């Protein structure tokens, strides 16, 4: 036994609350070196504890909430056809908010930012000419850290934008380096000359907001692991294509959410044997390319992979309320 007795007691309580049969726990404790009498005593003590009984009542309330979410999930699967995200041309403001934003449904809008100068001008040479000497922040060493998204504050590096553009242009498919929204605090200032090429999409976004978007730039092979955001988001795809896998917020109980907003599921190689509950989730896939505006509803789990060298702008400054994160406090281990 390498764990302390209190660690084992927590393990027993957690598994009892998750519905594990006491005989199975007893057998597992024997395999870990407990003698039969000691293992039985610990399990029976836990079962008799008023603390565990109080936890069981709370568990039952959470199960009721999970049932409610499961009904939403089933209704969502009945509505979605073929597991695809709808594509709509130039949605009006009212139609977008009524049919998608307020109903927590994803949609790909086409034709919404065709007039952007970025659609015609942005390429590697343009980036070097406009902002080549500017110091930018980039994430590096992602391949060496399996928790690269969680640990992204430790993976920051600054370099001239020109050097980063050269790196993206000359590399093959890799997830080792990526300029993401987490680097925007510095890059929004350094790359200010580019922001004028991507003006506010006024049909849906607030031009008076101090949030002017987030710049994502990387080679083919970049990955953003399964997670959910605390806001509604737009992904405006400017260069290249990305594959996006989505799971509705109502299927959160199936997403193996261990810490904050992160899932343990590897979206690039989903292991159904390791994560069997995921088979109950409604997994939807889409590919977005230049000119596509993907609406990612708040709470929807998503995995994103760059199929080509790509540039994406993301936005949260909708003309209606989007401050739901103010009441979120589950940043710790779940």
pLDDT tens digits, 272-331? 889 998 998 999 999 999 999 999 999 999 999 999 999 999 999 999 999 998 889 888
Under the banding of pLDDT at 50, 70 and 90, the label for residue 109 is: very high
Give residue 18's pLDDT: 82
Give residue 1's pLDDT: 54
16 within 8 A of 49, measured Cβ to Cβ: no
Residues sharing a CB contact under 8 Å with residue 81, sequence separation 6 or more, in sequence order = none
Tokens of 323: 């401050």
Q: How crowded is the C-beta side of 192, counted as CA atoms within 13 Å?
A: 4
pLDDT tens digits, 218-263? 999 999 999 999 999 999 999 999 999 999 999 999 999 989 999 9
Q: What is the mean pLDDT of residues 93-112?
A: 97
CA distance readout (Å), 198 to 31, 61, 202: 61, 47, 12
Residues sharing a CB contact under 8 Å with residue 155, sequence separation 6 or more, in sequence order = 139, 140, 141, 142, 145, 148
Q: What global pTM score does this model have?
A: 0.88
Distance CA 56, CA 16 (A): 9
Give residue 81's pLDDT: 59
Tokens of 39: 């293992």
Domain 84-327 falls under CATH 2.60.120.650? yes
φ, ψ of residue 9 in degrees (nearest 5): -65, -40
Nearest C-alpha neighbor of 291 from the set 235, 243, 245: 235
Q: What percent of the chain has pLDDT over 70?
A: 99
Average pLDDT, the chain: 94
Residues in a beta bridge with 245: 285, 303
In this structure, the chain runs to a length of: 334
Distance CA 187, CA 170 (A): 22
Angle subtended at Cα 31 by Cα 29 and Cα 37, rounded to the nearest 5 degrees: 50
Domain boundaries, the chain: 5-67, 84-327
- Rounded to the nearest angstrom, the gap between the alpha carbon of residue 132 and the centroid of all alpha carbons in its chain is 31
Residues sharing a CB contact under 8 Å with residue 43, sequence separation 6 or more, in sequence order = 12, 16, 22, 25, 26, 29
Look at residue 239 and give its three-state secondary structure.
strand
Give residue 75's pLDDT: 84
């Amino acid at each position: 036994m390498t764990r302390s007795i209190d660690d084992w007691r927590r393990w027993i309580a957690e598994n009892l609350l998750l519905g594990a049969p006491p005989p199975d726990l007893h057998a597992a404790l024997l395999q870990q070196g407990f003698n039969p009498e000691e293992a039985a005593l610990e399990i029976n003590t836990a079962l008799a504890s008023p603390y565990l009984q109080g936890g069981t009542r709370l568990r039952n309330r959470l199960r009721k909430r999970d049932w409610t979410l499961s009904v939403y999930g089933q209704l969502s699967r009945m509505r979605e056809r073929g597991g695809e995200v709808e594509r709509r041309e130039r949605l009006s403001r009212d139609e977008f908010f009524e049919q998608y934003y307020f109903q927590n449904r994803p949609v790909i809008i086409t034709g919404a930012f065709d007039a952007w100068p970025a659609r015609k001008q942005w390429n590697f040479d343009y980036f070097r000419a406009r902002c080549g000497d500017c110091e930018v922040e980039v994430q590096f060493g992602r391949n060496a850290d399996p928790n690269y998204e969680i640990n992204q504050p430790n993976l920051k590096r600054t370099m001239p934008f020109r050097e980063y553009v050269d790196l993206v242009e000359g590399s093959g498919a890799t997830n080792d380096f990526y300029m993401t929204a987490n680097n925007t605090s510095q890059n929004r200032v350094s790359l200010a000359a580019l922001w004028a090429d991507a003006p506010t999409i006024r049909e849906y976004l607030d031009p008076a907001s101090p949030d002017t978007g987030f710049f994502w730039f990387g080679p083919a092979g970049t990955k953003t692991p399964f997670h959910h955001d605390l806001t509604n988001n737009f992904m405006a795809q400017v260069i290249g294509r990305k594959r996006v896998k989505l799971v509705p917020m109502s299927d959160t109980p199936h997403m193996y959410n261990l810490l904050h907003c992160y899932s343990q599921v590897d979206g690039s190689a989903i292991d159904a044997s390791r994560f069997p509950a995921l088979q109950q989730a409604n997994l939807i896939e889409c590919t977005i390319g230049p000119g596509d505006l993907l609406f990612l509803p708040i709470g929807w789990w998503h995995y994103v992979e760059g199929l080509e060298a790509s540039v994406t702008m993301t936005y949260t400054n909708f003309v209606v309320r989007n401050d739901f994160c103010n009441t979120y406090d589950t940043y710790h281990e779940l």
